[in-house]
Structure formats: structure tokens, C-alpha cells
């Protein structure tokens, strides 16, 4: 089991780690987490010895394992919407909005969100936009394996959304 926490102070949400072969699968977005604060991967420390933290979020996607069976897999990402240029890739969330054809709608919503004073309220408004526009959407996803060399610890995550149906 893995745990997901958010910045609301609510108890952590537990989710079951599942394993699927690496491939593309049909799925449906079933949940979008609130933004949460986590230690950066590998727990790097700053000059004062403090673990460096970063914002994260998760999109849960119900992936069709077969015609009769599905499993929920997480797609982890930073809550950042940035278009890539040159050697820099676009953020995962930017690519999701691009594939869902929501970038223009996001640009309009972002103007409204920027007028909100408190950062937490801005974050909540952004997450609510994603929930309103992405929940229940059918999609094709690319699945990758984490810890692939250890059968006891391996599990699958959604690496990318290939397209929306």
C-alpha cells in the first residue's frame, strides 16, 4: 500500500499498488487529488540540511485491464502548467490539458484564478477546474512499471495520456 496526503490536514488516502504490463490501455479519469506538499524524490537537502519539498498532485485513472476487469492507476505530476521550448519539455499537466483541448479554456480560467488573494484558494480553484473538465473523461493511457526488476516491489503508474476519446 502507498499513501497520498494533501495539504488539508485530512488523513492520508490509501491506494493499492497494481501491476500491468507496459503498454497503452483504455481508461477513464476517476479522481483528481488536491495539491499536496512532499519531499522531492531522493530527499535532497538544502544548505541548512532541510529536506527540499515540492508540490505534487495525482490523477487516478481507471484502466481497463481486460474487457471485464479494470484497476485504478495513479498519474503523478507537479501542479504546473508550462509549455516547453527548446530543450525543455512541456509539463505533464500542460500535455494533459493540450490533449483534452482545454488550453484556451484554462487561459480564461487562469485570469480569474490570478485575482484570488490566497494561494490555497488559487490552488483549490485550479484543482476544481481540472475536476470540472477532466473527471469521467475517457482516454488512452501509456502505462509504465516502477521497480521493474523486483517482482515483489514492482507496480504500474500512468506515464502519459496518449489521447482523449
Distances (CA, A) of 137 to 80, 108, 140, 153: 21, 21, 10, 30
Q: By CB neighbour count within 10 A (0-12 exposed, 13-18 middle, 19+ buried), where does 27 fall?
A: buried
Distances (CA, A) of 67 to 31, 63, 64, 90, 125: 21, 11, 7, 33, 36
Range of the domain at 39: 2-164
Chain-centroid distance, C-alpha 45:
24
* Number of domains observed in the structure of the chain: 1
Would you say the pTM of this structure is higher than 0.85?
no
77-118 pLDDT tens trace: 998 899 999 889 999 999 999 999 999 999 999 999 989 988
The predicted structure's pLDDT at residue 104: 95
Q: Which runs of consecutive H residues, i.e. helices, occur in 19-118?
A: 92-99, 103-114
Q: Using pLDDT thresholds of 50, 70 and 90, give the confidence band for residue 11.
A: very low
Q: Using pLDDT thresholds of 50, 70 and 90, give the confidence band for residue 44.
A: confident
Amino acid at each position: 500500500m502507498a499513501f497520498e496526503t494533501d495539504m488539508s490536514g485530512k488523513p492520508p488516502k490509501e491506494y493499492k499498488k497494481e501491476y500491468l504490463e507496459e503498454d497503452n490501455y483504455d481508461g477513464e479519469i476517476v479522481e483528481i487529488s488536491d495539491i499536496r506538499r512532499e519531499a522531492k524524490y531522493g530527499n535532497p537537502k538544502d544548505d541548512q540540511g532541510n529536506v527540499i519539498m515540492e508540490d505534487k498532485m495525482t490523477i487516478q485513472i481507471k484502466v481497463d485491464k481486460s474487457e471485464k476487469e479494470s484497476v485504478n492507476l495513479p498519474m503523478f505530476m507537479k501542479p504546473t502548467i508550462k509549455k516547453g521550448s527548446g530543450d525543455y519539455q512541456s509539463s505533464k499537466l500542460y500535455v494533459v490539458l493540450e490533449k483534452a483541448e482545454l488550453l484556451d479554456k484554462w487561459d480564461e480560467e487562469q485570469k480569474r484564478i490570478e485575482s484570488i488573494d490566497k494561494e490555497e484558494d488559487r490552488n483549490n480553484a485550479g484543482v476544481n477546474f481540472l475536476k470540472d473538465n477532466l473527471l469521467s473523461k475517457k482516454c488512452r493511457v501509456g502505462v509504465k512499471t516502477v521497480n521493474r526488476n523486483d517482482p515483489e516491489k514492482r507496480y504500474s503508474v500512468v506515464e502519459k495520456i496518449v489521447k482523449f476519446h
